[in-house]
Amino acid sequence: MNQDMSILSLVLNASLVVQLVMAGLLITSLASWTVIFSKLFGLRQVRARNEEFEREFWAGKNLNDLYDDAGKHADQSAPMERLFASGMREFMKLRERRVTNSGALLDGARRAMRASFQRELDTIESNLSFLASVGSVSPYVGLFGTVWGIMHAFIGLANLTQVSLATVAPGIAEALVATAIGLFAAIPAVIAYNRFARDIDRIAMQMESFTEEFSNILQRNASQAPAAGAR
């Protein structure tokens, strides 16, 4: 009885539909864990790079030098550094076009930074919707497998003259395994989604604050000479 009721035995003896549901949920769970670890290390790297650039920025380094450094390693730069580079690039382009109105200079730089901010946020939020989908859909997929398995078990019991707990239990148990696998896939995805959403909100607020602070610096520099990199 113990051997027949093992998890492996229940999975192997389940109906084809239930087995397909289980296989799909296991594959989904594996993909979910891959996204979780990838996002975990990715967000940690984003925070570290942002903090490194922010320390360098507020250390008082010349803006033109910071802009030159950002262009040299654009692929490995922090999202905040790319945000700074986009605003600085637009500011310098407008200066080269002899735009002297401080409001126009600032508006152009802010528009460029808003567009860059949205691109960076979209990149940071990549695959987050997948975790949300796994967390919300997996339990229902597992429940479908359970309902199908119980229905299949009761249809098989209709041909028996005597029904006992020993004959009912295996069919119901193998059906409930689908729900268990669905929860196994959903629970980590929901926890990870909530954690990552909170971390991304903090990163977004940090970048928005930097945008406002950098805009104030550009506003002070708007009336200076085009080559100036002062604050």
Average pLDDT over residues 191-217: 93
Q: Which of 90, 66, 77 is nearest to 120 (CA)?
A: 77
According to the model, what pLDDT value does residue 136 have?
Answer: 94
Pick 137 or 226 by higher pLDDT. 137
Average pLDDT over residues 88-95: 89
Average pLDDT over residues 193-204: 95
Grade residue 191 by pLDDT with cuts at 50, 70 and 90.
very high
Percent of the chain scored above 90 by pLDDT? Answer: 46
Q: How far apart are CA 108 and CA 203, in angstroms?
A: 24
According to the model, what pLDDT value does residue 177 have?
Answer: 84
On average, the pLDDT of the chain sits at 84
Q: Which of 127, 120, 138, 123 is nearest to 186 (CA)?
A: 138
Average pLDDT over residues 92-109: 84
According to the model, what pLDDT value does residue 62 have?
Answer: 85
Average pLDDT over residues 90-107: 84
Q: How far apart are CA 198 and CA 202, in angstroms?
A: 6
Enter the tokens of residue 23. 């296989």
According to the model, what pLDDT value does residue 5 have?
Answer: 57
Percent of the chain scored above 70 by pLDDT? Answer: 83
Q: Which of 75, 101, 116 is nearest to 211 (CA)?
A: 116
Amino acid at 56: E
Pick 219 or 48 by higher pLDDT. 48
Contact by Cβ (8 Å): 181, 26: yes
According to the model, what pLDDT value does residue 161 have?
Answer: 62
Residue-wise DSSP of 87-110 = HHHHHHHHHHTT---HHHHHHHHH
According to the model, what pLDDT value does residue 1 have?
Answer: 41
Q: What confidence tens digit (pLDDT) does each residue in 2-15 have?
A: 445 566 666 677 77
Enter the tokens of residue 74. 């654009």
pTM of the model: 0.81
Label residues 169-191 b or e (16+ Cβ within 10 Å = b): ebbebbbbbbbebbeebbebbbe
Q: How far apart are CA 121 and CA 93, in angstroms?
A: 25
According to the model, what pLDDT value does residue 3 have?
Answer: 45
According to the model, what pLDDT value does residue 6 have?
Answer: 65
CA 123, chain centre distance (Å): 9
Q: What confidence tens digit (pLDDT) does each residue in 68-84 have?
A: 888 777 667 889 999 99
List, in order, residues 6 or more apart from 62 with CB less than 8 Å away: 229, 230
**Is pLDDT at 227 greater than 60 in this prediction?**
no
**Is pLDDT at 37 greater than 70 in this prediction?**
yes
Q: What confidence tens digit (pLDDT) does each residue in 130-188 have?
A: 999 999 999 999 998 888 888 877 776 666 666 555 666 666 777 788 888 999 999 99
Task: Give me the phi and psi of 127, to 5 degrees please.
Answer: 70, 0
CA 226, chain centre distance (Å): 40
Contact by Cβ (8 Å): 84, 167: no
